[in-house]
Amino acid sequence: MKQESPSFQGGECQTACRVNEAVTLRIRDVLDRFGSVRPVVLFRKGNTKGKLATRTIPVLEDLRKHLTNYHPPKWANYLFPGRHGKGHITPDAASKILNSLRFCL
């Protein structure tokens, strides 16, 4: 598994993942069975660019705080579930959310 380091720029948490990789994260890729944040985020090879290799990214403290405070619905399989419990949110929806947050900061 390839491991990439996150970086911090201007107080933002950068994890070197693509929007599509983030929206396809399953809860079990980020949280253990007790609901605690894992030490690394697992990006499955089917969801990475090129679909060549599963990779992990370490969870640094800033990201750990956000993930600890985030509580996806109990019925969800995905970290960012779609409407009405169907799949995950779309990359376009996630991009719109991220852009709106950027303008709020």
Tell me whether residue 6 is exposed, middle or buried, using C-beta atoms within 10 angstroms of its C-beta: 0 to 12, 13 to 18, 19 or more: middle
Arithmetic mean of pLDDT, 61-71? 91
Whole-structure pTM value:
0.74
Is residue 91 scored above 70 in pLDDT? yes
What gap in Å lies between CA 85 and CA 98, rounded to an integer? 21
| Between residues 17 and 68, the one the model is more confident about | 68
Arithmetic mean of pLDDT, 41-64? 80
Mean pLDDT value across the chain: 79
Q: Are 40 and 93 in contact (CB under 8 A)?
A: no
Question: Using H for helix, E for strand and C for coil, what is the string for 47-88?
Answer: HCHHHCCCEEEECCHHHHHHHHHCCCCCCCCECCECHHHCCE
